[in-house]
Amino acid sequence: MRRIIQVGVGGMGGTWTERVAASKRWEAAAYVDVNRKNLIAAAARHGMPKSRCFTDLEEALRHTEADALLDVTPQQFRRKVCTAALRRGLHVLCEKPLADSLRNAVALVETAAKEKRVLMVAQNYRYQVGAQTVKQFLHSGKLGTLGYIGVSFHKGPHFGGFREQMAYPLVLDMSIHHFDLMRLFVGKDVRAVQAASINAPWNWNKGDATVMTQLEFIGGVVVNYFGSWVSQGAETSWNGDWRFEGSNGVLLWRQDGVFFSDKGTEMTPVPLVDFPVEHQAYLLEAFADALDSGKEPETSGKRNLNSLATTYAVVKAARERRRVQVTELIK
């Protein structure tokens, strides 16, 4: 069993403590959280002794033998937390987004390379049955040439906390999952974007939480994305509703499954692939596999940069009301 220090045991941290506790490849070496209440609650849930609970990261790193660190803090702490771990020789699995700016993300990727450590980002939306079924169907060639994609995502969560204070909370905290899924499906990087940001009259966040954006991929596929975090009803799933238009027909991915229409025929359900280990459980397996094999994970920090850059390109395009090349932001 490999040992992992978990930093941040709050909201999403609770899911991670469960997944690590259930893992056959990882054991929790220590918990770190600046919020003592969250720390005590997580320790009580999993029987973590007091001696292995820390409010100070440096102290935890000094006193704990571990192979890796799992960062589940909000993105504004990411660079500091992950850099400290990488410099101590630990491999890092961190939550999305990889950082709170592209500069900080690139700095983390460079530090990981310098220290020869794995840096992997938790893009868990890739690793679920629906997404893997879509990926396999597209790669099978049954849809023919993929032309364009429409994505509609509508939720109305009241999170409180850091998200409601952020500029562009939807794009900078959530849409990275959708943009990263697009890259998985298209198999290429995003080249350029255009966008319009909407501040709905009833928006309860400080920043705009609705966006309409067009994303152009290398190779020519275009995606129309309409996302909102202030929807007042008829919500979609967290994945959103997807429509893939190809030369042979249309593929739909919705909450109730994956469907294919072959030029005018009824929508036929597509059999779901066998993908038993999903989301965070899958990521823990993939992280362990990367350490075992020495191979770069599919969602390494470096490979994740185009997904993160796309979020910043969308914000820039909306602010400046122009088409933005992703390469303007990241070389």
Ligand X SMILES: NC(=O)c1ccc[n+]([C@@H]2O[C@H](COP(=O)([O-])OP(=O)(O)OC[C@H]3O[C@@H](n4cnc5c(N)ncnc54)[C@H](O)[C@@H]3O)[C@@H](O)[C@H]2O)c1
Residue 167: other Cβ atoms inside 10 A? 13
Residue 25: other Cβ atoms inside 10 A? 15
CB of 283 to ligand X, least distance (A): 9
Q: Which stretch binds ligand X (CB under 6 A): 34-42, 257-265, 298-306, 323-331?
A: 34-42
Applying CB under 6 A, does 180 fall inside the site for ligand X? Answer: no
Q: Supply angle C-alpha 111, 115, 117, rounded to 5.
A: 95
CB of 316 to ligand X, least distance (A): 20
> Distance between CA 257 and CA 261 in Å, rounded?
13
Applying CB under 6 A, does 161 fall inside the site for ligand X? Answer: yes
> Distance between CA 133 and CA 130 in Å, rounded?
5
> Distance between CA 50 and CA 314 in Å, rounded?
44
Applying CB under 6 A, does 34 fall inside the site for ligand X? Answer: yes
CB 307, CB 298: distance < 8 Å: no
Applying CB under 6 A, does 40 fall inside the site for ligand X? Answer: no
Applying CB under 6 A, does 11 fall inside the site for ligand X? Answer: yes
Tell me whether residue 32 or residue 149 sits nearer to ligand X (CB atom). Answer: 32
Applying CB under 6 A, does 130 fall inside the site for ligand X? Answer: no
CB of 57 to ligand X, least distance (A): 6
Kindly state the number of chain residues that form the binding site for ligand X, as judged by CB under 6 A. Answer: 26
Tell me whether residue 143 or residue 211 sits nearer to ligand X (CB atom). Answer: 211
Token digits of residue 54: 């820390």
Applying CB under 6 A, does 124 fall inside the site for ligand X? Answer: yes
User: Kind and range of the H or E element at 108?
Assistant: helix 102-115
Q: Which stretch binds ligand X (CB under 6 A): 44-52, 66-74, 100-108, 214-222?
A: 66-74
